[in-house]
Structure 1
């Protein structure tokens, strides 16, 4: 993090709302969200000014600090604790410690959905016929996937966007010879992982403070992305072992 402000940062004496900060950072960090900024604040990485009514006001230094945090996460895969130590060193006029040796980018863990992808999107309601046409599933396969708990219709018998994705991916696996009953283990594993993550953030999620619930959602998304990266890496390692590659 340079001690001088980037050209895209606001003037030193200006104050920005959290929405304006998100808009300013998004061209460089497309995955940044208001929830992510709130989460970084809750972790002590940035401390914006609060108005008497409780609204956040971010300074140029705050924006520069957020830029440093996001770049360190994206480019160096540094954990927040290490980034916080770097910022503390910079605040005290020191050079941050050099990062530990890391594997080349080509050898880093497999990609997985970003935390942003766990946010609620636009509402989708598909009829049974529309879901079949979208996914390529047969009516029999769809019924079996419902039987084994992979798909569930919502109110009015409509299917949402999550169901549409599950149906399409299930159709790809069924096309290569798997059967709906084989996919039941995916549902069981997913439910177990979701329950574990929910337990980790449940204390924050139960608070009445809306910011606390926002932080719980952001932390859950981060944890889910890490869990999926771990899963991907373990599958890759298993394939290399079993196929001798």
Structure 2
């Protein structure tokens, strides 16, 4: 079993009894340490070759304890070190081959002056259009419609941020309740305004000459984003409590 720093097979009873787990059970186990993880995220990591659960004859995923440990390691490396998925995959593959694989370093020390310099800027996970369609389980026409409403936006090179999988999955789920993409434009507009507020707060850090301070800006932005999401959820619950007592 893959041994991971800062944790291991001790998290969650479901991960230690050796029985195959459904993706829903894996989600429950992982959320003990990673509250923001989603089923879409797990599916995306699978599509990127970072975990390979076995499939039942009917096509359902079944994860073993080693799959869960591998997912934990991937999520920790993304959360704590901002490593690209390609680097994470190479690191884990080396570990499973029994090679001595040190954690890839993103910084080096400049000789003589003790200043840390980035070796390589962390790159956000990106996926292609076909990968997005497959991971979210949607059709081309649906994606095109959602793009027309600005709910999903491709990057300049035509690829997508990995979070687009989560957005697409949620839009599809809301559609089951009769909520159409055009209804979601107000949510997109609100998200853009909230992102602008976060950007205003972290902008001074991002312009700082010290690279460590600039790196801290990303962590601060993620923390602020998490707080705004929690506030939004609480305000929604309050509003619904007033309107639907």
Normalization by structure 1: what TM-score?
Answer: 0.50
Larger radius of gyration: 1
Normalization by structure 2: what TM-score?
Answer: 0.50
Q: Relative contact order: is structure 1 or structure 2 higher (C-alpha 8 Å, sep ≥ 6)?
A: 1
Query: Which structure shows the bigger proportion of residues in strand conformation?
Result: 2
